[in-house]
Structure 1
């Protein structure tokens, strides 16, 4: 199917170009974000998509957030004269930025939306961070201290969550809610599944992809399932 609408990649490139210019230009941002200048030029020219973790580094270097670049929610610090601050000046005002934005850790583990990947997320260190608006997290009922990012791997939750999607995990999810999607550990495998609670006790782990059969967890086996958090949001590069 051919879309008659504008290319979303062009919109991302335009917003990226705007924040890069405001932060001191291509060379300054490439150095601050530890991104090859040739790669940054491809992103600015809409010739290739920006990998999620790279986008996070560029956003921080530009004193903005990844969602600002992706979705157009502008956030650039300005000085008293109304002009955008240079990178060094912006970093000096980092406490002001932290009042409105939160660094959410991007964990090294990939949560499988497939048959499962061996790992123990509780012991996993953050590989990087993404910057998110506190008010946006509040709109999702996610406390900043409970927020973590995971990368989906596999296609069992497709078309809802696809391979390579970024997922925001709420570790302070409270009670498990029927029909919601969770990151959980089953037999030391990290998986992402939709949960259906059974009236007789126990639960079903549902894959949104019909090619993957549901797994029933009996009431007496529920204790072997460790819930890591609810999937509060997911996103992908366009």
Structure 2
């Protein structure tokens, strides 16, 4: 009798393990598709949520191998990520459709356009970066439901080149609140590089949280606790650290790295 019970228990466990393996394999393919579309792990859950019309919590479960989307959501993801749905769901065949014969170029591609200004505009000593009405909260967060462009701010072209920046990736946004004092004060001007989306230990980033909206914080990495979103303000009773376990980084999107700040001393 006991032998039958052991056998039955093994049969109950085996399908569960099989399902977990399927989910893990799907999560791995999903991350490959994200990488192919230049989507970083940070905030991937929020991006996928918008693509599939679900909550960031649900999409994070896909990335963590805890669940899989249904047929309609799977098709929406495959279409948005430009991959074959059979590959994404089952791992069958190639990730992407091969190019049709007529779509292949018959002549060399045009030369790549230089990222930085050429000699034609070398006389212009300044780069004019667009200023946005959006606010990065150095406090509880800011929704920024309506954003407008409000003129430009001039930066020396020589400095932009020295810093290795591309003007196309830069925007000027203002800080609001005191959680990042004394590094960043209320109403300080911030230059944000939107191309720098990978977290870097000790650096200041503009982040988007589903709960708080747009915020500006310092990212700290701990071997024991994972990534920590930290305010520079020493009053931790008001501005406590936010710990983000590895399984939840997909729900916090990096908007860009803060390169420079300007304000009243």
TM-score, normalising length: structure 1: 0.55
1:159 corresponds to which residue? 182
User: Runs of 4 or more off by more than 4 Å in structure 1?
Assistant: 95-98
CA shift for structure 1 position 98: 7.4
Quick one: higher RCO (CA 8 Å, sep 6+), 1 or 2? 2
1:137 corresponds to which residue? 160
> Alpha carbons of 1:106 and 1:176: their partners in 2 closer, same or farther (altered >3 Å)?
same
- Of the two, which has the highest radius of gyration? 2
TM-score, normalising length: structure 2: 0.49
- Structure 2 counterparts to residues 59-70 of structure 1, below 5 A: none
Q: Is 1:107 the counterpart of 2:135 in the alignment?
A: no
- Structure 2 counterparts to residues 106-125 of structure 1, below 5 A: 106-119=131-144, 124-125=147-148
> Alpha carbons of 1:204 and 1:98: their partners in 2 closer, same or farther (altered >3 Å)?
farther
Q: Equivalent residue of 2:183, what SS?
A: coil
1:222 corresponds to which residue? 249
Measure, in 1, the Cα distance between the counterparts of 2:254 and 2:130.
18
Measure, in 1, the Cα distance between the counterparts of 2:224 and 2:164.
30
CA shift for structure 1 position 204: 0.6
Measure, in 1, the Cα distance between the counterparts of 2:225 and 2:124.
44
Measure, in 2, the Cα distance between the counterparts of 1:202 and 1:173.
20
CA shift for structure 1 position 185: 0.3
CA shift for structure 1 position 197: 2.0
Measure, in 2, the Cα distance between the counterparts of 1:171 and 1:200.
29
- Structure 2 counterparts to residues 1-238 of structure 1, below 5 A: 96=121, 99-119=124-144, 124-173=147-196, 175-187=198-210, 189-199=213-223, 202-211=226-235, 212-237=239-264
Higher alpha-carbon deviation: 111-120 or 158-167: 111-120
Residues paired across the two proteins, number = 142
Q: Equivalent residue of 1:159, what SS?
A: coil
